[in-house]
Amino acid sequence: MQTKPVLSLDDVQKILEAARQEAQNNSWPVAIAVVDDGGHPLGLLRLDGCSPIASYIATEKARTSAMGRRETKFYEEMINGGRTAFLSAPIEGALEGGVPIIVDGQVVGAVGVSGVKSSEDAQVAKAGISAVSA
């Protein structure tokens, strides 16, 4: 039987705090979601001034990243590159801002962020992940 690492509650809290710090340092009102490797929610934080729908979008970005085992930027680029048929795929988080959490070569979860430009969402997600991958 194989074994793999999993995210703990402490890991989720570290990710949310580091992502929150990055967002607040840039005055970005965002929602930050952390999911496990199956896309199931583990933590959600919506900063003051962030639109309520951003919580949904952040969760979907995280879910898409975890289940797809890649950054959601990949899907956005694919669609923008002309593969519009991909819009019918069951991925609601196909915008940049979902980033997988990889430990020892295995995806153990993902972080999704929504509320500002997609590249800034990804920056916040990566800052969160750095809290557990350093």
pLDDT tens digits, one per residue of 6-63: 999 999 999 999 999 999 999 999 999 999 999 999 999 999 999 999 999 999 999 9
Give, in words, the CATH class of 9-133.
alpha beta
Q: Within 13 Å and on the Cβ side, how many CA atoms surround 33?
A: 28
Which H or E run contains 114? strand 106-114
The region that residue 112 occupies, defined by phi over 0 for left and psi between -120 and 50 for alpha, beta otherwise, is: beta
| Spans of all domains in the chain | 9-133
- Tens of pLDDT, residue by residue over 79-91, are 778 887 777 666 6
